[in-house]
A and B are shown apart, each in its own frame.
Chain A
């Protein structure tokens, strides 16, 4: 296996973006930032891969229009996933492993505010017996939260603690759209929204884009003194039907984590769009009390669709570049109630890599 590192990361997150659903306007400055970070031009990028969804954009082939932000003369090596940025990164990682390219720039975009996000996402569901009921994202998360409360695995206080810590940490994140912790008591005093969820238990509807740069071996060392080497990457999926899943668990997250060496992880960026989901992930990944969870504020502070998972990778990589940590974990989710999960480890050294 080739050594591949994350060497670039840029993002934009906002509550409502005054521009087109293809987000070309947002991607151009993000790419510019990445050329500055890497010292590259677009011609140094061996492979491009994007993540987005036409349902979110409300127009077909929205990713084709987004390619304008790259510039395609001479022609570029390009692909797309109807998934989060983290999965686009996975495709790019595979591409680099083939030896065909040494570098990749992966990006993702989504204008969640264009439609009714929690409704649009019902199109991800089993189409015969679920989508026709239009169960919205918040409701499905609510069923999951209740299942855990009834089973005695967590309570409203534990959920509020997650939200309070996220909103407090988000104060240091210039991109967070919701920030400002108060106290667990104050959060618990707020009205119930979608019982058993309060609004702060649910991630905000966020527009935005994000991009990551990957490079192999010496190409990575040219860019960063401490590249964030991808020493493990794994993803699994749970069944589509909500009934056959134990909603208090996420077996796919557990399996993804078990495939990696999570010993020594200092910081974990978990993609948990609902507060109780962080509790599930923490248990499934076996993260101890000494692991700092979501110092960026996480998805409860802002959750741009199709970028939110990849942003976790970028945040985790930044802690390696800065020397703050030697080993970090990033997690991305997709689908209803933690159905699909990707986990990766990032390290300052490639020793002990599982891939």
Chain B
């Protein structure tokens, strides 16, 4: 068995970027079925155009339409494509210098095997069926047979200049907990709340950490915590947000379990929000056992015990 618990996790979000006049011009061109380069102070045509001249650092203002046919200047085989690449089967990445340009553009080249690629081969743009003003409006490059010429891009509805682009990012990880976090989650799966004590300063951390953040000592001694504790601070959530599981208003609070030196953040239910207060004594309320997993969500919420409030001095050092 692995020392630690692990689980797959996906981190996904969209980057929305404004493109500015140069990149926007290039992407507008792709949507309209033309490849646009920019001329540098040295007279070179660069595709995609550079926003600023590499020598004078002046903004690029001169744009040039180049051909959608060009020459492969370097290539590499992609035997095991990764997610979101232009093809999900083996293909080539290539640097292609389009006719009329002086430097190459990076894109995918649709060939079935490395034997079908050579440096110097002639290729042409294969346009995407639907074009929106994005680098993927070029679906890929494809080999140009002898005698063939460039093909005009299917007509596109001309529109406003492209001013923004959205890049979708989705990264998959196998997330591993630390050995100490694993202790905590294994405990929860058995109905226990586990912490660890620092041998140097004797503080009890829950969830346990790999080292005491105060003195850097590895935490080793395992401690099972009480299921009762004190609310040290709280907030009433009144704002609805995406993914919210409970209808507002509700209370999110720091609960300092008896015997612990760090509070856990959890939900307080079983009491009207306006009655929740600092010092209130609460206890863990678990979900039915058959719903348990390796998760803090096994504890459905904390609810008042009905005991008198804790004295401020008992938790003032943990605020």
Contacts and interface: CB of A to CB of B under 8 A. Distances in A.
Interface of A: 17-22, 24-25, 27-28, 31, 42, 55, 58-59, 67-73, 111, 113-116, 118-120, 123, 127-136, 138-147, 150, 192-197, 239, 241-244, 247
Contacts of B76: 138-139, 141-143, 145-146, 194-197
B123 to A, nearest CB: 15
B228 interface: no
Q: Which of A68, A130, A138, A242 is the most central at the interface, judged by chain B CB atoms within 10 Å of its CB?
A: A68
Contacts of A247: 74
A243 B105 contact: yes
26 contacts: A18-B4, A18-B176, A19-B3, A19-B179, A21-B173, A24-B178, A24-B209, A24-B210, A67-B213, A69-B216, A71-B213, A116-B172, A118-B82, A119-B83, A119-B171, A127-B167, A133-B85, A133-B135, A134-B83, A136-B78, A142-B93, A150-B74, A192-B114, A194-B76, A243-B95, A244-B54
Interface string B171-204: 1111111110100000000000000000000000
B303 interface: no
A59 B17 CA distance: 22
Most B-side CB within 10 Å, residue of A70, A115, A130: A115
Given A114-B176, A147-B95, 20 more contacts: A19-B176, A68-B209, A71-B213, A114-B173, A114-B175, A127-B15, A128-B167, A129-B23, A129-B135, A134-B85, A138-B76, A141-B76, A146-B76, A146-B119, A147-B73, A194-B77, A195-B114, A242-B106, A243-B105, A244-B103
B313 to A, nearest CB: 22
4 shortest interchain CB distances as A-B pairs: A142-B76, A71-B216, A58-B173, A24-B210
Interface of B: 2-4, 9, 11, 15, 17, 19, 23, 26-27, 46-48, 50, 54, 73-79, 82-86, 93-95, 103-108, 114, 119, 134-136, 165, 167, 169, 171-179, 181, 209-218
A116 B177 CA distance: 18
Nearest to A25: B210
State the majority secondary structure of interface residues on B: mixed
A139 B81 CA distance: 10
Contacts of B4: 18-20
B168 to A, nearest CB: 8
B47 to A, nearest CB: 7
Nearest to A135: B93
Contacts of B104: 242-243
A132 B78 contact: no
Contacts of A17: 176
A28 B210 contact: yes
B214 A150 contact: no
A18 B85 contact: no
A25 B218 CA distance: 8
A304 B27 CA distance: 37
A25 B27 contact: no
Nearest to B105: A243
